[in-house]
Amino acid sequence: EAFNANVAGAKALNAFIVETPEKALEAADAADKAKAAGEPLKPLSGVPIGMKDLFCTEGVQTTAASHMLEGFTPTYESTVSKKLWDAGAGMLGKLNLDQFAMGSSNETSYFGNVISPWRRGDGDTAALAPGGSSGGSSSAIAARLCPAATGTDTGGSIRQPAAFTGISGIKPTYGRCSRWGIVAFASSLDQAGPMARTVRDNAILLETMAGFDPKDSTSLDLAVPQWEAGLSSNLKGKTVGIPKEYRPDGLNAEISAMWDRGIDWLKDAGAEVVEVSLPHTRYALPTYYIIAPAEASSNLARYDGVRYGQRDLPDGAGLQDMYAATRALGFGPEVKRRIMIGTYVLSAGFYDAYYTQAQKVRALIARDFEQAFEKCDLLLTPTAPSASFALGEKQADPLAMYLNDVFTVPASLAGLPAMAVPGGLDGQGLPLGLQIIGRALDEQTVLNAGLAIE
In the complex, the residues that contact ligand GLN under the rule CB under 6 A are 101-104, 132-133, 153-157, 185, 292, 405
Residue 132 near residue 126, CB atoms below 8 Å: no
Tell me if the bond preceding 133 is cis, omega within 30° of 0.
yes
From 52, 82, 83, 238, the catalytic residue: 52
Residues 6+ apart with CB under 8 A from 242: 259, 263, 273, 274, 275, 276, 379, 380, 381
Q: Is 35 a catalytic residue?
A: no
Question: Is 157 labeled as catalytic in the residue annotation?
Answer: yes
Among the options 116, 157, 168, 233, which is catalytic? 157
Phi-psi region of 71 (alpha: psi -120 to 50; beta: other; left: phi over 0): left
In the complex, least distance from residue 186 CB atom to ligand GLN, rounded to whole angstroms: 8
Q: Where are the beta strands (DSSP E) in 141-250?
A: 148-153, 168-171, 191-196, 239-243
Nearer to ligand GLN, 153 or 254 (CB): 153
Nearest approach, Cβ of 281 to ligand GLN (angstroms)? Answer: 17
Q: How far is the CB of 157 from ligand GLN (least distance, A)?
A: 3
**Residue of 45, 116, 133, 134 marked catalytic:** 133
User: What backbone torsions phi and psi does residue 28 show, to the nearest 5 degrees?
Assistant: -65, -45
Q: Which is nearer to ligand GLN, 153 or 213 (CB)?
A: 153
Closest to ligand GLN by CB, 278 vs 292, is 292
| Cβ-closest position to ligand GLN | 157
| CB closer to ligand GLN out of 337 and 367 | 337
Cβ closest to ligand GLN, residue 57 vs residue 408: 408
**C-alpha distances in Å from residue 5, one per residue of 11, 374, 384, 429:** 13, 48, 26, 15
How far apart (Å, rounded) are the C-alpha atoms in residues 423 and 337? 34
Minimum distance, C-beta of residue 137 to ligand GLN, in the bound complex (Å): 12
For 347-354, the CB contacts below 8 A with 24+ separation are: 354/290
Residue 334 Cβ vs ligand GLN, minimum distance, rounded to whole Å: 8
- Distance, in Å, from the CA atom of 393 to the CA atom of 384, rounded to the nearest integer, reads 16
To ligand GLN, the closest distance from the beta carbon of 102 in angstroms equals 5
Nearest distance in Å: CB 398, ligand GLN: 9
Q: Which is nearer to ligand GLN, 151 or 241 (CB)?
A: 151
- Distance of alpha carbon 79 from alpha carbon 96, whole angstroms: 20
Upper half-sphere CA count for residue 222 (Cβ side, 13 Å): 16
288: part of which helix (H) or strand (E)? Answer: helix 284-299
Helix residue spans in 319-390 (DSSP H): 319-330, 333-345, 351, 357-372
The bridge status of strand 239-243 relative to strand 378-382 is parallel
Judged by DSSP in three states, 143 sits in coil
Choice between 135 and 225, CB closer to ligand GLN: 135
Measured over the CA atoms of residue 220, residue 221, residue 226 and residue 231, the dihedral's sign is negative
Q: What residues are annotated to the active site?
A: 52, 133, 157
